Amino acid sequence: MKLIIAIVQDKDSHLLSDEFANANVRATRLSTTGGFLRAGNTTFLVGIEEERVEEVLTIIRENCESREQLTTPPVHLDTTLEAGMSMPVPIRVGGATVFVVPVEAFHRF
Ligand code: 2BA
């Protein structure tokens, strides 16, 4: 068994939940916060048999969209501008950041 940890944008999380349910994939949603943007995102925990990992990755790939977002860098990082005048810069936030990790044991009591 594997544990898939997928961090996705909030905008994609409802559709992804629906698609997991349609495919009979059990998942837990956590409300999380990105360390860089400090904005909300959603983390899914999916415990799944090894032979279904590719299926789950395909569902994630097909339902999570990469988007450009404007962010204002912290003033101390923007050396080109006077203090207090940081300009928004575009960054591309991924469709999903996914970790696949081995599971030593799985119990459902
Ligand atoms: P955030 O940390 O809020 O990052 C949002 C986006 O900001 C990132 O998109 C990336 O485009 C940019 N970014 C992040 N750190 C940066 C840095 N040090 N310098 C320049 N740009 C930076 P993604 O890479 O698609 O990440 C989306 C979210 O996935 C992240 O939100 C974070 O919550 C999570 N994440 C990404 N990589 C991770 C990792 N290695 N470990 C744990 N969580 C991760």
**Which ligand 1 atom sits nearest the alpha carbon of residue 94?**
25
Q: What CA–CA distances, in Å, run from 40 to 12, 15, 56, 85?
A: 12, 17, 23, 25
Which of the four pLDDT bands, split at 50, 70 and 90, describes residue 86? confident
Helices (H), 23-108: 53-63
Cα separation, 69 vs 95, whole angstroms: 12
Distance 36 CA to ligand 1 centre (A): 6
Q: Which residues line ligand 1 (CB under 6 A)?
A: 7, 34-37, 41, 91-94, 97
DSSP assignment letter at 24? T
Query: Tens of pLDDT along 10-62?
Result: 999 999 999 999 999 999 999 999 999 999 999 999 999 999 999 999 999 99
pLDDT in the model for residue 84: 55
Q: What is the pLDDT of residue 51?
A: 98
The answer to whether the beta carbons of residues 95 and 57 sit under 8 Å apart is no
pLDDT at position 81 is 54
Ligand 1 centroid from CA 35, angstroms: 7
